[in-house]
Amino acid sequence: MTRELVHRSSVAEVFVTDGARVGDREFVVAAQWPRDHALYHPDENGLSDPLLFAETLRQGMVYVAHRHCGVPLGRRFVGRDIDFEITDPVTLRVEGVPLSVFLVGEWTWDGDDARGRSGARMDFRLVVGGRACGWGTISMLMVDERRYRLLRRLGGGAADAPATVPARTAASGAPRTPPHRVGRLRWRDCVLEEAARPDEWRLRVDRDHAVLFDHPTDHIPMMVMLEGFRQLGHLKVHDACGGPFADLSFALARTAVQCLAFGEFDRPTRLVVEECASGARPQETFQLSVSAVQGDTVLARARTAWACVGTRPAAAVPASW
């Protein structure tokens, strides 16, 4: 699998391995998830990181677009929304070999490609060992360079800024949340900074992060927003379960994100908790609603659901690097 077909620079970050058309609009995409990963590592119960699924959804759609649906290389892909659920997390437990997964999906066009602008959606089922264990939907806008620059100008962004902006960290100087509180192993992977207001955090955007910024970009990527939503959910859900529930472990079961505007690097991004409540369904323990905001502009809205997956092992010494 070539890196260009999934919009990745590092070979290590390419999870899609192959794919085939099996119908007029139906495709099967094969992927392999690593036993361990610098950012998307297994949790304390040995379950695969749910954001591996999210990134595979993104790569799967980009691959199908280029390889099977005639979208030329060089088009800009802009995420519009993503919705996914892990229905059987035990199937995704990390064992002695990398996990082979399949995305069985359907492509739906939405837009006018004759104008140089086109949207599409893919609906996937996640299958492991012949067993369905999740589903996901992802929608993207695919535009040529001229249309992309117009979208950036309309959104108030720097449309003519080069993609090779010098790497830096957009940090406020506020304390970062310790990695063990947000489900991470390393300080460098923490994207939450404390804020003065309750139920509000700041998104730490480190453009020198090798995974979150695999290649240069002129705006905050969707996967960086997802990591912020996930870390904030982990923090809020586990903090809410103190006392007799302190030894329980919770995993992200479902995430639905609407992308509404481009996130700019030169503006602080606030993550605002709007709701934290008990889950609506038996398998959901908590539901959390969060918005990413720059000034008065809402960049994205996310709703996450968390499920209890077992007990927490004895506390380990948190990583300090």
**DSSP for 39-93?**
SS---TTSBPPHHHHHHHHHHHHHHHHHHHS-PPTT-EEEEEEEEEEES-GGGGB
The yes-or-no verdict on residue 73 having pLDDT over 90 is yes
The pLDDT value recorded for residue 242 is 63
The pLDDT value recorded for residue 165 is 47
The pLDDT value recorded for residue 321 is 40
The pLDDT value recorded for residue 27 is 98
The lowest-confidence range among 22-26, 166-170, 312-316 is: 166-170
- The two tokens of residue 140 are 């993207």
The pLDDT value recorded for residue 244 is 52
pLDDT digits (tens, 9 = 90+) for 30-70: 999 999 999 999 998 899 999 999 999 999 999 999 999 99
The answer to whether 28 and 20 are in contact (CB under 8 A) is yes
Distances (CA, A) of 135 to 106, 124, 125, 298: 12, 6, 4, 27
Mean pLDDT of 221-243: 89
Average pLDDT, the chain: 89
The pLDDT value recorded for residue 118 is 86
Confidence (pTM)? 0.90
Question: How many of the other CB atoms lie within 10 Å of CB of 173?
Answer: 5
d(CA 288, CA 8): 30
| pLDDT-based confidence at residue 164 (cuts at 50, 70, 90) | very low
- Residue 189 three-state SS: helix
- At residue 115, φ and ψ (nearest 5 deg) are -90, 10
The pLDDT value recorded for residue 151 is 93
The pLDDT value recorded for residue 168 is 56
Higher local confidence (pLDDT), 309 or 112: 309
Higher local confidence (pLDDT), 268 or 321: 268
